[in-house]
Amino acid sequence: MDAQPDMIAARSQRLLRLLGPKSIAVIGGKEASRVVFQCQKLGFEGPIWPISHSREEIHGLPCFKNLQDLPEAPDATFIAIPREPTIEAVRTLREMGAGGAICYASGFSESGEDGGTLQTSLVDAAGDMPIIGPNCYGALNMLERAALWPDVHGGTPCEKGVAILTQSGNMGINFTMQQRAMPLAYLLSLGNQAAISVNDCLEALLEDPRVTAIGLHIEGVDDIARFSRNAMVALERGVPIVAFKTGRSEKGAQATVSHTSTLSGSDKLYDALFERYGIARVHSVPAFIETLKLLSLFGSLPGNAIASLSCSGGEASLMADRAEEHGLVFPDLEEGHAERVRETLNEFVNIANPLDYHTFIWGYRDKVRATFSAMLSGKFDLTLLVLDFPHTEDRNDEEWIMTLEEFIAASKENDARAAVLATLPENFPVETARWLMEQGVLSFCGVEEAMTAIAAAAFIGSCQAARATQPLAATTALEGKPRTLDEWRSKLLLKAADVVVPNGKRVSAKNAAEAATAIGYPVVVKAVSDSLAHKSEAGAVVLNLKSDAEVAAAAERLSKIAPDLLVEGMVDDGVAELLIGLSRDEQFGLHVVVGAGGTMVELLRDTKIILLPASRDEIADAVMSLRCYPLLEGWRGKPEADTDGVIDTVMKVCRFAATHASSLAELDINPLIVRPKGKGAIAADALISLVEGE
């Protein structure tokens, strides 16, 4: 059941008290001492209270012997003592009315059954007081200069910026050490997430208007339905989210009885989740940082139209190639725009986008400004200046700085989003990058990372413009052991759900010809058994039979595979073959897979996952995104297929999933034969796995 908004708000405020403390207590030895040092180094303005039985002072601060000796309940406490005393300290803090705690100690659920029992005791001791960890590094808040962090870090104070959630302390350190001028507001290392999860942190951070973007470095999230609701809030409030999810293996895709199970795995489901709710996924640390940096400065982008300036044809070609591979476009300059640019350059320059302005104007402040301003007047979604900086011992970057000054001025003059891109990260001095960001111009370190970031920002922009309309359904567990039904029984269930299936009869071999005559030729004859998942591979289906003799011969052979046979009318006007499947995941529950069907389904792997519940528009978008979709539009003289019939069938399958949510394990329609426009689509073969009793 969804938490009420006031409950969510109260929970978020409790966590924000911990993350943005006015007072800090530390318990422990070396790690606690480092927390004191880091807070003092940042200039934390509130009181810091060390607690130690063996020391009189830590970094010039007098130590208290016990928590009860503190002048008041602390907003945040960093606990770096063994696991059993940690539990008692948390209980005492809760009784005092403290804001919350960072639990540094390991040896909890990550260490086995005994540790799991201790973690349960820790959560019980905390009650509704938020605790981060255990087995975590802690939290950095550069807005309040609070470093609940027992190690080095590269964070610097800021007034607004990016929040990063990570499940890795070491990766958290690495993120803070970036030399790419990304403004970091929060860094939270969550450890075991015993009481505070990614979802809890999202809800809290979305309440802080100083958070400009949120980065998730995660292996997964604990509650997919709740996460979808939080993602919808982020879209509504215009706070972009970037996911750097690790664990891309297909462990979650167990090859059971259906095609569908081999086509959906846990990582693909996360892709579908992120796509549906406007979360940009990246696959490298540099792309993660560059994307968050862009989003922090500009927010999402309204489109994917970009422009580029450089004084090198090689750089211009590089930009064009990499942009195309990321789905970005360099629009041709409109006539008036092209003329404005042409007036600032000589006759040797080809006026185009990307623009190679050559070196004729290099070093001439007025000429550089004129060209930049003319190009920036085009109102692109983002305009890039390609510029690598010298770093030799005798470097003189005066002309480079002058170039930047004129680019900044031109961007302000035209109210344009502008970025400076160094093709190699090491060719962009961090102090220069920070200065640019302060001036409202983005600094990009690396071409590939820049293109990834721009595409991600454009994707988020499109999702903010057309927000997801509904969150995901809560996962329903199976209520028993499922059993695979044979094709006949599967089709009876589908027919009852208004899915169109062929006219057919279940018969013995001796009655096959009689059934075929009643149905009308041509027909298909199949062996029927709940152990025949893939009949084509087993030779258990014979197509396009046109006489009693052919049916009798086929029936005789197939009866040796299974005693029961299915005789059906042959669909002979199909335009395309698709697959529609339902599969169940422990986290995501039932979800739909739609894609190219037939016997080569695993080879083609042209599929789209649809999470539930789904609207008709979402289903239509999924179908139209398939690589095989041109077949439905009428490929090479074939008639246009009944796409509406496909969408109708998928919607009926979705309703079937909702009806049987507690008992349905799998469903596989393959092939779904799509007929010409106006004639619908027919489930030519089907398999359903249900809990006994359905």
> What superfamily would CATH give domain 576-691?
ATP-grasp fold, B domain (3.30.470.20)
DSSP 220: -
Tens of pLDDT, residues 297-315? 999 999 999 999 999 899 9
Task: Judge whether 214 and 279 are in contact, CB under 8 Å.
Answer: no
Q: Is the pLDDT of residue 693 over 80?
A: no
Task: Judge whether 244 and 165 are in contact, CB under 8 Å.
Answer: no
Tens of pLDDT, residues 140-171? 999 999 999 999 999 999 999 999 999 889 99
Task: Judge whether 193 and 221 are in contact, CB under 8 Å.
Answer: no
Percent of the chain having pLDDT more than 90?
Answer: 84
CATH number of the domain at 503-569, please?
3.30.1490.20
Listed in sequence order, the DSSP H helices in 299-418 are 313-325, 335-342, 365-376, 398-413
Tens of pLDDT, residues 422-433? 999 999 999 999
Give the position of tokens 């604990």: 222
Q: Is the pLDDT of residue 356 over 90?
A: yes
The pLDDT confidence band at residue 259, using thresholds 50, 70 and 90, is very low
Task: Note the pLDDT of residue 142.
Answer: 98
Residue of 685, 683, 491, 689 whose CA lies nearest to 590: 689
Q: What is the mean pLDDT of the chain?
A: 92
Residue range 72-96: mean pLDDT, rounded: 97
Task: Judge whether 86 and 102 are in contact, CB under 8 Å.
Answer: no
Helix H or strand E encompassing 688: strand 686-691
Task: Note the pLDDT of residue 48.
Answer: 98
Q: Is the pLDDT of residue 212 over 90?
A: yes
Domain residue ranges of the chain, discontinuous segments joined by +: 5-248+283-296, 300-465, 503-569, 576-691
Torsion of Cα atoms, 151 then 157 then 162 then 168, to 10°: 0
Q: Is the pLDDT of residue 7 over 70?
A: yes
Q: Is the pLDDT of residue 21 over 80?
A: yes
Tens of pLDDT, residues 605-621? 899 999 999 999 999 99
Task: Note the pLDDT of residue 2.
Answer: 52
Tens of pLDDT, residues 565-590? 999 999 999 999 999 999 999 899 99
- Coil, helix or strand at residue 422: strand
Helix H or strand E encompassing 621: helix 616-624
- More confident: 554 or 259: 554
Tokens found for residue 305: 């139209």
Task: Note the pLDDT of residue 266.
Answer: 85
Q: Is the pLDDT of residue 366 over 90?
A: yes
Residue of 137, 188, 199, 132 whose CA lies nearest to 164: 188
Tens of pLDDT, residues 632-668? 998 888 899 999 999 999 999 999 999 999 999 999 9
Sorted by sequence, the CB contacts under 8 Å of residue 413 that are 6+ apart come out as: 373, 376
Percent of the chain having pLDDT more than 70?
Answer: 95
Distances (CA, A) of 101 to 40, 212, 263, 317, 322: 19, 25, 43, 53, 46
Q: For residues 635 and 294, give the distance between their C-alpha atoms in angstroms, rounded to a whole number.
A: 41
Same fold, 5-248+283-296 and 300-465: yes
Distances (CA, A) of 333 to 52, 302, 304, 355, 416: 69, 19, 15, 10, 16
Task: Note the pLDDT of residue 522.
Answer: 96
Q: Is the pLDDT of residue 264 over 50?
A: no
Residue range 379-390: mean pLDDT, rounded: 95
Whether a cis peptide bond, with omega within 30° of 0, leads into 613 is: yes
Residue range 81-108: mean pLDDT, rounded: 96
Look at the domain 5-248+283-296 and name its fold.
Rossmann fold (3.40.50)
Q: Residues 36, 38, 39, CA angle at the centre, nearest 5°?
A: 65
CATH number of the domain at 300-465, please?
3.40.50.261
Helix H or strand E encompassing 584: strand 576-585
Residue of 490, 445, 539, 443 whose CA lies nearest to 656: 490
Least confident interval from 338-347, 353-362, 466-475, 626-635: 466-475
Task: Judge whether 279 and 324 are in contact, CB under 8 Å.
Answer: no
Tens of pLDDT, residues 235-254? 999 999 999 998 765 543 34
Q: What would the DSSP string read from start to end of 242-300?
A: EEEE---S-TT----SSHHHHH--HHHHHHHHHHHTTEEE--SHHHHHHHHHHHHHH-S
